[in-house]
Structure 1
Amino acid sequence: MRWTVHSEKPLYTDRWLDVRIADVEISGGRRLDHRLLRTSPAAGAVVLNGADEVLLEWRHRFITDTWAYEIPMGGVEPGESPRKAAAREVEEETGWRPGPLRPLLCLHPSPGISDSEHHVFFADSAERVGDPAEDWEAERIEWVPLADVPALVADRKVVSGTSMAALLRVYGVGRPV
């Protein structure tokens, strides 16, 4: 059944996040207030090298207090295409410039509460161009064997839903054509 949205009001808004409350009607004419998050799209990439290793960031996320690997990813700036944002984010966060990017997948990681849309691309090469632009993005940048991805997921060393979906997509299905 499709819910009917009667109204939506902002509760808090800044450049990163728009927290809202929606008056929605569900089955049987029942209505409820539903909180939701509206965000700008994000873009990132799975980057492989010739040794079948994937470029990953080892980083801490304070909200969940977890250390784990993630693909490079960040916000799409106004007027920027998701592909350009993915290339920019990979270079800024890792110091590696990805080769040509091809679409891999697009997902909504938490559609029950957020409209967040993640565009993930794939590159099968990268060129080292320097250090990451910021020292706070990751503890370290590593080339990790793609074959290790299932064990990393099982060991909770990949916990980001977007990173997990993208890495398992490349591991299980292979490179996009």
Structure 2
Amino acid sequence: MAGAEWPVHGRRQVYGSSWVELWLDEVDIPGTGRIEHHVVRMPRASTTAVVTDDDGRFLLIHRHRFITGRWGWEVPAGWADPGEEPAEAIAREVEEETGWRPGRVEPLTEYDAMSGISDAHFRAYHVTGCTRIGEPQDISEAARVEWLPEAEVIELLVTGGIPDGPSHAALSYYLGPHRLAGAGR
């Protein structure tokens, strides 16, 4: 049996800020009927970066996330400002969060993080040729910034040391499909 689209008959905003919006959309679910469905909308483009060097290391930040109460390693990430291209945004974020200025910023992959409830769309980039310019500008972003060898990154992915979804997705994509497609050579 083929699936069907869910027609939207109306929407109403419950909450809104420059960070996140919560909406109730009135939709018809085929075979179920009309319901109000919660939708989390993200008003700005989200970006992440897998940053590598010529030695095969990965630039990661270690930080605490108060929402989950967990420490973990993450790739640099952030939002595009209004009118800012996502590739420009991630170059800015890498520099602010790590103290390393990107040389090349190339598209890696993009995906919808939680398509059943949110329009959060992430664009991941591969950043290379970084130059150290100093300490990170935003000290609230990380307790540590380090270049980690690939074997350690893989171990962190396997053991839960990289609990952040966008970081996990970007690194896993880079280490898997990106390389298998020959783009990582």
| Residue 73 (structure 1) aligns with | 77
TM-score, with structure 1 as normaliser: 0.95
- Shift of residue 123 of structure 1? 1.9
- Shift of residue 77 of structure 1? 0.6
| Residue 9 (structure 1) aligns with | 12
Following TM superposition, where does structure 1 have runs of at least 4 consecutive aligned residues deviating by more than 3 angstroms? none
Unaligned runs of 5+ in 2: none
Taking the TM superposition and a 5 Å limit, the aligned residue runs for 1:24-43 are: 24-28=27-31, 30-39=33-42, 40-43=44-47
Q: Deviations over 1:48-75 (max 9, x none)?
A: 0111110001011111111111110001
- Shift of residue 147 of structure 1? 2.5
Unaligned runs of 5+ in 1: none
Instruction: Identify which range, 162-171 or 88-97, moves more after superposition.
Output: 162-171
- Shift of residue 176 of structure 1? 4.7
TM-score, with structure 2 as normaliser: 0.91
In 1, are the aligned partners of 2:48 and 2:167 still within 8 Å (CA)? no
The structure-2 alpha-carbon separation of the partners of 1:60 and 1:16, relative to structure 1 and needing over 3 Å to count, comes to same
- Shift of residue 132 of structure 1? 1.0
1:53 correspondence with 2:57: yes
SS at match of 2:62: strand
- Aligned length in residues: 177
Q: How many angstroms apart in 2 are the aligned matches of 1:147 and 1:125?
A: 21
1:64 correspondence with 2:64: no
Q: How many angstroms apart in 1 are the aligned matches of 2:8 and 2:184?
A: 38
SS at match of 2:153: helix
1:158 correspondence with 2:182: no
1:171 correspondence with 2:175: yes
1:147 correspondence with 2:151: yes
In 2, are the aligned partners of 1:55 and 1:71 still within 8 Å (CA)? yes
1:89 correspondence with 2:93: yes
Q: Deviations over 1:23-46 (max 9, x none)?
A: 111012611111111112111211
1:20 correspondence with 2:23: yes
Identity %: 38
Instruction: Identify which range, 75-84 or 147-156, moves more after superposition.
Output: 147-156
Q: What RMSD, in angstroms, separates the aligned Cα atoms of the two structures?
A: 1.4
Q: How many angstroms apart in 2 are the aligned matches of 1:28 and 1:169?
A: 36
SS at match of 1:101: strand
